[in-house]
Structures are given as structure tokens and as C-alpha cells.
Amino acid sequence: MATSKTGSFWLTEVVTLPNTMGTGDRVQGTLDLGAYVDVGDQQAIAIEYVDFIHQVGTDYGSNVDGMLNGNGAITSQLTDLNPGTVLVRADDNSLIASSGLNIDTSNNIATRDADFYPDSFGKLDESRMVVNDSLYVVSGPDSAGVSTESYVTCRIKCRIVKLSTKDWMSIAIQSTASDN
């Protein structure tokens, strides 16, 4: 299906959750893939792994009791179509990876939510192929507002690949169809 043109490398996008953010508010960050994706050469990005990292305050710590005003969650998604500042349903074809961090502020406990969406895709033939020229990270608090400016970093392990004409067209059609 795909042949590697490069070894694996990391792309990173940080979204800032300001301390004025209320429950249900969302912010979006954009990763420009224009330098990596090339229609003429049938060049795409193969995503191998996605990780979401949560930090709080100017020291970028991970003490969750300072992230939200009360018990709640920080939800994040990575998509290959622009959802604006909303989250998409789990069955949306544009969803690449997602994360939920449940926060119990009174006990300073954080747990990952039961989010089994594949954030580790495996070897090249199992990678998530992206032919769009941007990726979008959307994140925000639920059930409580942000108390201290916090950060969600999305780290993406990927490589540049060359696709066959048939595979390129299949992925492009699927991506376009999910936008309707």
C-alpha cells in the first residue's frame, strides 16, 4: 500500500486552555502538513502514534488540582478535517485520536477515560494515512471551568509515505465523503 520516504519523526501542537474557559468551551490548534503532503507525487503522512500530554501553570506541572474549578474532565481530539471548535462523534471518519482526562480536584486524582480509540496504530501497513494538508487539535473542559491556564500537547509520530494511485484516491474519496 505505502512505501516510506522518510523515517519516523514527531509533529507537535499545543493548545492553551485559558483560565477564563468555561465548561463546554473548546479551543483549536492547527498543524500545517503542506510541506509533507503532495497530491502530484501521491505523498501522504502515515500516523503511527498519537499522545496527549496535559500540563498546568507557568511551571508546566501535572498537578491536576489546579487545572479545573471542580471535578470534571479535559477532552481532546485530533482530526484531519476542520471541525471548528466542536468535538466530533467517535464514528466520524475524520477522527484520528482522542483523549479524556477525568479530574477529581478534591482528591487530586486524574484518570484516563475509557477511551479505547487506537492512538497507537502499529507498523506502516496499519498506520492512519492522511492526505489532507492540515490536522486539527480540539480541546476543552467539561463539567467545570479552567482555574489555572493549562496546556494540552498533541504529539504525533509519523512518516512521509508514497501511496499507489488507487490507495491515494481511496483515502482522498473517504476523507472528502466524511466532510459531507
Q: What single-letter amino acid sits at 158?
A: C
| Cell digits of residue 32 | 500545517
- The residue with greater pLDDT, 177 or 9, is 9
Supply the range of the domain harboring residue 91: 2-177
Q: What is the CATH number of the domain that holds 124?
A: 2.60.120
Domain count, the chain: 1
Binning pLDDT at 50, 70 and 90, where does residue 53 land?
Answer: very high
**CA-CA distances (angstroms) from residue 145 to 17, 85, 95, 103?**
10, 16, 25, 12
pLDDT digits (tens, 9 = 90+) for 100-151: 999 998 888 888 765 655 567 777 778 899 999 999 999 999 999 999 999 9
Residue 169 confidence class, pLDDT cut points 50, 70, 90: confident
Whole-number pLDDT of residue 175: 74
Contacts of 40 (CB under 8 A, 6+ apart): none
Q: What is the pLDDT of residues 63-95, one digit of tens each?
A: 888 899 999 999 999 999 999 999 999 888 899
Nearest to 1 by CA among 162, 144, 116: 162
Spatial separation of the C-alpha atoms in residues 132 and 124, rounded to whole Å: 18
Confidence band, pLDDT 50/70/90 cuts, at residue 179: low
Q: Is the pLDDT of residue 180 over 90?
A: no
* pLDDT surpassing 70 at residue 174: yes
